[in-house]
A = this chain, B = another copy of it.
């Protein structure tokens, strides 16, 4: 056994409930595990996927985090998603066989590479896997629609509260603390994603701290009042809630 083998397998991966292994039986899982390649770690700013490049593999995030973004004709960058462990990156290439968006590491990160050709062969043999891929794609569509709604109808405060609530929830699903976590992205990137400026993000974070919703220490965020964060991210304020009760 290779020294560098840290015994990472789908069978024992703590994110298998969020990843391709969902709904595969033991045999299928073994086959999947065999075709997946573990790549060496990527560092901050390293490019994992380049827009326009040919679609060769899907990537599952094992550790760390990524952002994916598209670039407009006039050179502006639009972040379309942040990816945490268990997330799959690269679906948007299934249509044209070329990636629509680029993805870079936000911090030192590890990924599992799933070569497309072998994945397709497996999909042929295991209908459950095919279904899971469809599900992941459909989820992507859903998430896009939700985000669109957010950007369209909600104001700055609601957008950032939604972002925080969602992060907290996603960390929780992954077995990390949902009360305290590090932002691997900059305020600038958060703003880009939410359609706001850095200054607005900065001001709001200070305000949320004053209002005792969160505690901010640089990149470290502590969620103090999740209930209120969630309600207000939905446009429901305290006075409104009292009225309804």
A101-B145, A145-B144 given; A78·B138 CB < 8 A = no
Complex CA gap A148/B141 in Å reads 12
Complex CA gap A135/B145 in Å reads 18
A141 CB to nearest chain B CB (Å): 5
| Total contacting residues, chain A, CB less than 8 A | 39
> A78: which of B72, B96, B148, B192 is its contact (CB, 8 Å)?
B148
Pick the interface stretch among A25-33, A87-95, A198-206, A212-220. Answer: A87-95
In the assembled complex, A195 has its CB within 8 A of some CB on chain B: yes
Q: How many copies does the complex hold?
A: 2
Q: Are B151 and A152 in contact (CB under 8 A)?
A: yes
List B contacts of A148 (CB < 8 A). 78, 80, 144, 147-148, 151
Q: Are B235 and A138 in contact (CB under 8 A)?
A: no
> A92: which of B78, B141, B149, B152 is its contact (CB, 8 Å)?
B141
List B contacts of A94 (CB < 8 A). 134-135, 137-138
13 A-B pairs within 8 Å (CB atoms) are namely A72-B149, A72-B153, A74-B234, A91-B138, A92-B138, A93-B138, A94-B135, A94-B137, A95-B135, A95-B139, A96-B135, A137-B137, A148-B151
